[in-house]
Structure 1
C-alpha cells in the first residue's frame, strides 16, 4: 500500500482547477476552464488517497512435453530466443476478469515460451 498526496488549487473566478507553471522565482496559476491567470495565491486543497497494490502471480508451466502442444494452433511469429518463425499459441485469462486476456506462444523448434498482453 502506498499513499498519494495531491495539492490542488482552484480559480478564484470560476472555481475550476488550475495548473501551475514556474516562471523564474514565482509560480503562475492558469485556470483550465476560463483561462484566468494569477500569481501565487489561491485556495489549496490537500487530498490523500491510499492505494492497495497487488503483486502479480508467477506463471509456471506444469507440462513441458511437446506432445501436449500439438493440438494447439500455430502462428507465424518470430521466437525471441532462436528466431524460428512458427509457434504454438493460446490465450489465457491470467488476471482479473475485467482485464484483457494474455496471449502465450511456445516456439515449435526450441520450446521457449513467451507472452503478449492484448
Structure 2
C-alpha cells in the first residue's frame, strides 16, 4: 500500500500503455513502482519526522509545573485540578484530543 506524496490519498496500481503505474485517484499524481518480482511490487519511501512532529511526554515534575491547568475531576483520586495539553490524534479536520493529568496523583486521562 502506498500513499500519494502530494495529497496523502491511497495510490492504486493501474496498467497504462502496457506498464503498471501507481495512480492517485484524487489528484492524478503518478509514479512507477519498484518491482520485487513479477507478481508483486514495492514502493519504498522513507519519511523523516521533524522534532515538532513528535509528541512530547512530560515526566519531570519541573516540566509539569509549567503546563496550563484547568478544573477537572480526577477519576482516580477526586482532585479538582489537572494539567492539560492537546494532541491531533485523528484527521486534521477533526477536533484535537485533550489529555489531562491530575496535579496530585498524576493519573492521566483524555477527553475528546
TM-score, normalization: structure 2? 0.47
Structure with the greater alpha carbon radius of gyration: 1
Comparing both chains, which one has the higher relative contact order based on Cα–Cα distances under 8 Å and sequence gaps of 6 or more? 1
